Amino acid sequence: MLVTDQVSPLEQMRRATPAEPLPSQLERGSRGERHVRMWKRQVTLSMMAIASGVVLMSGIVALGHADPLAVAIWAPLSFAVNLFAYVALHLGRSLTWKDPTVTQPQIVYSGISVIACYAMAGPMRAVVLSMFGVAMIYAIFALPAKQVRWITAGQLVLLGIVMAVMSRWQPERYPAGEEILTFFQMCVVLSVFAVLAGRLSELRERLGQQKIALREALQRNVELAERDELTGLLNRRRASELLELCAKQTARGASFAIVILDIDHFKRINDSHGHAVGDIVLRHFAQVAQSILRDGDVLARWGGEEFLLVLPTDSAASAEALSQRLRERTAATSIALPHGGAVTITVSIGVAALYEGELTSAVLERADAALYRAKAEGRNRVAVA
């Protein structure tokens, strides 16, 4: 029966029995959404930290140590910055930015914000500096070590400038001696954070490399389970599954031809040139065969020097014609040997149409019988069952 809109048998098999997605595929499918959710939580935590800072500064205002107007300006500005980051993440706008997490700007602003509160807090400024720890802990877990070091250096420079300005402007509230000691202590503390950031960055990089290696190993295992390692073609197990599906598809009007191919005198090649040359011959034949196959044709290594070809076709005649082209192309190409010289090979081919309701074992027997007839008639020929 002629079917004008044939679908690749392999594609039919995938549609009929979808494979369980690999962890790497699941990860790629949900990575964007999961990261956005994680980033939103980060922004939410940042807003909670700002809220605690507002409570702290409100208490300092209540004790009469900070200017209410300055705190009234700082608090809504800080919430606005984090709200902007949250909205950008929620709408997906930040995904196209260089820093889609908006982490670095948040940490930079947090440091500037703490320094601003330091300038407002007067006698309570030592308490305010504790908020530096929150920002820096967040930084060492979220940013590369190099960025943490630059941010730390920038914040120390800015803090030093503010301390110098405040000690000159309000020496009674910011004694120079206390500011020098405080600055020295902050240099030590922030330097420790920078070192920790470097170690954590190394750990993240190492874990990332291990994750990639595990993903590649898993993909490799899947390929080994489905493909022949030498030729890269489907292996016998996967090809057998494909044949079973093709047999089921014939009940719906699909037509297939099964072709078994055998390299002539392959044992002689192994005996004369060694198994390494035999492997080269097998790979060469697989490449030649694939070069003339059509979309939807499936080639598999059936075992040893035997190959199986599944063709979605409406007649054994068209399968025979393709097999003849493959036979001629194989005989016409020479295979260069590693140590000089070349060999040529021929192939014997058996073709059988897959009938509706026929068992796969039966069509394989017919194709195999045709193959043996081709060999008996002199090899390097095509026989149709």
Instruction: Give the residue numbers marked as catalytic.
Output: 305
CA dist., res. 220 & res. 38, Å (int)? 30
Cα–Cα dist 364/85, whole Å: 64
Output the six-digit token pair for 165: 């300005």
Q: 224 near 238, Cβ under 8 Å?
A: no
The closest of 139, 112, 144 to 128, measured between CA atoms, is: 112
The sheet carrying 298-303 orders its strands as 298-303, 306-312, 256-263, 347-354, 382-384
Query: Which CA distances in Å does 193 have to 96, 175, 215, 225?
Result: 30, 27, 32, 48
Structure tokens at 120: 């407002």
Question: How many Å apart are CA 13 and CA 310, to the nearest integer?
Answer: 13
Beta strand pairing call for 298-303 and 306-312: antiparallel
The candidate with the shortest Cα–Cα distance to 228, out of 296, 289, 311, is: 289
> How would you class 337 by CB atoms within 10 Å of its CB: exposed for 0-12, middle for 13-18, buried for 19 or more?
middle
Task: For residue 383, list its beta bridge partners.
Answer: 350
Rounded CA-CA distance 382/260 in Å is 10
The enclosing H or E element of 351 equals strand 347-354
Q: Residue 363, Cβ neighbours under 10 Å: how many?
A: 22
- Evaluate the CA torsion angle 370, 371, 372, 377 in order and state its sign: positive
